[in-house]
Amino acid sequence: MANRSLLGRILSLLLLLSDRQRHVMAGAGGGGGPANLDNPWQSRVHQLPDKYCTVLFRRSTHSTGSLVGCSTKSKSSAQTSPLIYLSTASEIETYVSTVISSPPTATLTAVIPASLFTNSTLTKLTSHSVTSIILLDDSTPASSPSTAQLLNLNSWGVPISLVQDAESQDLLKSLASSNAESSSSSSSSSSSYNFPYPRYESAFNYYMGPSTATSEICLNWQNLDGLPSPQCKPLGGQSIYASTSSPSSSSTVMIALKIDSTSFFHDLVPAANDAAASIVTALLASREIGRAISAAPSGSKNIAVGMFQGESYDSMGSLTFLKNTVSSSKLSCEKQVGDACLSPLYPDLSFQNLTDINTMIAIDQVGIIQEENKFFSHGYNGEGDSMSQIDYILQSLTTNNFSVQGSSQDTLPTTPLTSLISTHSNPDSVTGVVLSAYDSGYTDPNRYTRFDTYEKINLEAIAAAATLAARAALADAVSSVIEGGVDAAVSWAEAKIPEISVDDELLVELSTCFFESGSQCDLVKTSVASATADAIDATGYSIYSAGLGSPPNYYVGVYSSFYSQPYVVVDGRAMGGTEDVEAFQSSSSNFIGVQASELELTLKYLLASYLNTTAHFHPAVDTDLTPESDANLDMWVVGDGDTPLWTEPNWDSEVGLAVFNAGGSEVNTIFLDVISVLIFLATLAGGFKYASKWKREKLL
């Protein structure tokens, strides 16, 4: 192969590329059917549909390391190795003992059932010649070990993919079995895992940066010309908030919740209990508050609802919002135009008009009941150990089937309430409570996994939680102005807000939307259509939103120009902010916009509708990041604080997992060249998905 002419190699590549294009997903003659890598009329390369573990970066000083997730080692070629299939825990143990006594000469790809995937299994395999893993999705929630324990895994150099469809799983088992048979029939092999040619191998093309990468390095990266060229994007999005209006009030009680989640595979984040249940609960509660608030006496507190994005990544949404509203270091804008700030760019400064948020009801994981007909309140009182008023109110409330009991734990779970306590300029004035279905720790084993799905969600519990949250907020809001004090306020709120039925039409519609149909839900379609029409009327430009997915996916995603980062357009140039107020005001064609996600647009639309008020966006991104003014989008000023600084690297449009028939070293080299040429051609054609331009400027 070393003496082969360049022309010959190119001809071979073109033949394989043509063959790959025509036959990679088809049977002989293009008539469909399973892939056959031995058929000369089919491709020797078969792309597999998979879900993959991606890399995230953090700050270099992060206590548990700057890199989380999975990546291949090389940016110039795919990572290849022969396939082995280990179907049981016993087979894994046998494999380990075999390779200890007789190690293979090549590294291997282990194909295993996802139900066997644990930290222990991963350590055993990667310590004994396995450098890549393919999981076959055989699992059910009952049989699957919790992958939540692997969320902080640093698996750089060991790519991990999940294959879900039955046909691809059967193909992988068959190819691995063929390897095993060829090894057992070979008399020259010194190890049962030395597979003679021809053999079947995997090819992982999942390079996402070097093992030494950090968020600071990738955000401050410069290209070969010395120009800024960030190689990652922050995680983030847009939080949503709305408030009833009570001009005479000096304080606000807020219902708060997270709207995102995570899992080992970022494409599979159903988050039914971790996020969607809270969303449905808060929207139902908002409807009830919107119906009742007009009866509140003059002088009542404001009632606000805050839906925070990015909470699964160190509470970035609530911390950013509360830093700007209740802390001693609130946003100071010197480049304000109307209701917007041009630098740092905030399209909507309405949060500055909120009265002091000193009471909070955080809703967390209310869809799966730990104890029958019971919720728990995790209370906080900044003034001391006594029960706070809002905790007392919540525990005083009941529905026909549910009551609220004080938690047995002294430590608060991490919610927007902990963000309020940590950011408030006067923490002694803060009171709050977490309304949850758990008492002593998170009891749902499927939290932060792909199995947090709707099948176990208790809609009766959600209806009750919404009733309780709405009544508690309303009772607290009127408690200081209604005759009879707190107990009278509780009775008044119970009379004003009827109990929500499990058959409530809106409950059924919201549940179908946020648990199952996602982007296909009429509520989502209507909300996005309304926001798009408003954007076109205001700016002449449409909105191209990141989809919620169907079924929905609640991973926060990246914060960039097409994914929720606000932008200002001056003389046709889109920037992350501008210091030039005069230039911005010089033309009516200049404008400020934000490409919020389908989820964010929907929640903003619905929250405003149910509370009968105006809802607003607020950026949810690391508090130590500021968009650079008068610069292109996706340019950041990185502070030197101690925030986690979560980022996701730019990655190539040709990432993926394939299997191929390795006929020998020459065929292997041709295959690797195929992968490289595919990437090169994609680069020439500009064939990148957004958040992926990694060639010349990719991390070294």
b/e map of 314-350 (b: 16 or more CB within 10 Å)?
A: bbbbbbbbbbbbbbeeeeebebeeeebbbbbbbbbbb
Closest CA to 111 of 133, 131, 144, 94: 133
Asked whether 40 and 33 are in contact (CB, 8 A), the reply is no
Calculate mean pLDDT across residues 601-626: 97
Instruction: Provide the sign of the torsion angle of the four alpha carbons 108, 113, 114, 117, taken in this order.
Output: negative
Same domain (yes/no): 79, 168: yes
pLDDT at residue 64 in the model: 84
Closest CA to 556 of 51, 56, 145: 56
Considering only 286-290, 680-684, 689-693, which range has the smallest mean pLDDT?
689-693
Q: For residue range 125-166, list pLDDT tens digits in order.
A: 999 999 999 999 987 666 566 666 788 889 999 999 999 999
Secondary structure class of 71 (helix, strand, coil): strand
Q: For residue range 464-508, list pLDDT tens digits in order.
A: 999 999 999 999 999 999 999 999 999 999 999 999 999 999 999
Q: For residue range 173-205, list pLDDT tens digits in order.
A: 999 999 999 877 665 556 788 888 889 999 999
Instruction: Say which DSSP state 294 is in.
Output: G
d(CA 50, CA 37): 19
pLDDT at residue 248 in the model: 61
Q: Give the CA distances from residue 83 to residues 50, 111, 608, 658, in Å, rounded to whole numbers and listed in that order.
A: 16, 7, 54, 11
- Domain residue limits at 446: 241-328+348-520
Report the chain's mean pLDDT, rounded to a whole number: 88
Same domain (yes/no): 200, 270: no
Encode 509-574 in three state secondary structure. Answer: HHHHHHHHHHHHCHHHHHHHHHHHHHHHHHHCCCCCCCCCCCCCCCECCECECCEECEEEEECCEE
User: Residue 32: is its pLDDT beyond 70?
Assistant: no
Q: Which two tokens mark 447?
A: 């939290």
Longest CA pairwise span in the chain (Å): 95
Which of 461, 488, 520 is where one domain is finished?
520
> Residue 373's CB: how many other CB atoms inside 10 A?
14
User: Residue 42: is its pLDDT beyond 80?
Assistant: no
User: Residue 278: is its pLDDT beyond 90?
Assistant: yes
Same domain (yes/no): 435, 355: yes
The enclosing domain of 275 has a CATH number of 3.40.630.10
pLDDT at residue 6 in the model: 46
b/e map of 537-571 (b: 16 or more CB within 10 Å)?
A: eeeeeebebbebbebbbbbbbbbbbebbbbbbbbe
Domain count, the chain: 2
Residue 580 located in a structural domain: no
Same domain (yes/no): 299, 440: yes
User: Residue 44: is its pLDDT beyond 70?
Assistant: yes
Residue 428 located in a structural domain: yes
Same domain (yes/no): 276, 175: no
pLDDT level of residue 3 (50, 70, 90 thresholds): very low
Amino acid letter at 641? G
Identity of the highest mean pLDDT range in 19-23, 252-256, 409-413, 673-677: 252-256
Asked whether 487 and 396 are in contact (CB, 8 A), the reply is yes
> Residue 298's CB: how many other CB atoms inside 10 A?
9
pLDDT at residue 561 in the model: 82
φ and ψ at residue 430, rounded to 5 degrees: -85, 135
Residue 236 located in a structural domain: no
pLDDT at residue 212 in the model: 93
Secondary structure class of 586 (helix, strand, coil): coil
Same domain (yes/no): 124, 258: no
Residue 602 located in a structural domain: no
Same domain (yes/no): 203, 270: no
Supply the angle between the helices 459-478 and 485-496 in degrees, to the nearest 10: 130
Residue 622 located in a structural domain: no
Which of 504, 520, 536 is where one domain is finished?
520
Of 319 and 534, more confident: 319
d(CA 629, CA 344): 7
Same domain (yes/no): 189, 291: no
Asked whether 559 and 233 are in contact (CB, 8 A), the reply is yes
- Sorted by sequence, the CB contacts under 8 Å of residue 501 that are 6+ apart come out as 463, 507
Q: What angle do CA 84, 88, 91 make, to 5 degrees?
A: 60
Considering only 462-471, 479-488, 515-524, 664-673, which range has the smallest mean pLDDT?
664-673
d(CA 381, CA 190): 69
Coarse DSSP helix, strand, coil percentages of the chain, rounded to the nearest 5 percent: 35, 20, 45
pLDDT at residue 38 in the model: 64
Residue 480 located in a structural domain: yes
d(CA 110, CA 131): 8
Asked whether 377 and 362 are in contact (CB, 8 A), the reply is no
Same domain (yes/no): 200, 284: no
Q: For residue range 220-248, list pLDDT tens digits in order.
A: 999 999 999 999 999 999 999 999 976 56
Of 684 and 571, more confident: 571
Percent of the chain with pLDDT over 70: 86
pLDDT at residue 147 in the model: 65
Calculate mean pLDDT across residues 552-570: 93
Q: For residue range 582-613, list pLDDT tens digits in order.
A: 999 999 999 999 999 999 999 999 999 999 99
Q: Give the CA distances from residue 488 to residues 168, 431, 495, 539, in Å, rounded to whole numbers and listed in that order.
A: 64, 20, 11, 50
- Sorted by sequence, the CB contacts under 8 Å of residue 573 that are 6+ apart come out as none
pLDDT level of residue 18 (50, 70, 90 thresholds): very low
Same domain (yes/no): 251, 298: yes
pLDDT at residue 442 in the model: 82
Residue 604 located in a structural domain: no
Asked whether 331 and 577 are in contact (CB, 8 A), the reply is no
Q: Which two tokens mark 142?
A: 């009952």
User: Residue 374: is its pLDDT beyond 90?
Assistant: yes
pLDDT at residue 414 in the model: 96
Q: How many CA atoms lie within 13 A of 124 on its CB side?
A: 20
Supply the angle between the helices 416-423 and 316-325 in degrees, to the nearest 10: 40
User: Residue 299: is its pLDDT beyond 60?
Assistant: yes
Same domain (yes/no): 281, 421: yes
Same domain (yes/no): 184, 279: no
User: Residue 672: is its pLDDT beyond 60?
Assistant: no
pLDDT level of residue 546 (50, 70, 90 thresholds): confident
> Strand 302-308 vs strand 237-243: parallel, antiparallel, or unpaired?
antiparallel
Residue 3 located in a structural domain: no
Secondary structure class of 592 (helix, strand, coil): strand
Secondary structure class of 5 (helix, strand, coil): coil
Q: What angle do CA 365, 243, 328 make, to 5 degrees?
A: 85
Which of 477, 496, 520 is where one domain is finished?
520
Please tell me whether the peptide bond between 551 and the residue prior to it is cis, using omega within 30 degrees of 0: yes
Please tell me whether the peptide bond between 145 and the residue prior to it is cis, using omega within 30 degrees of 0: no
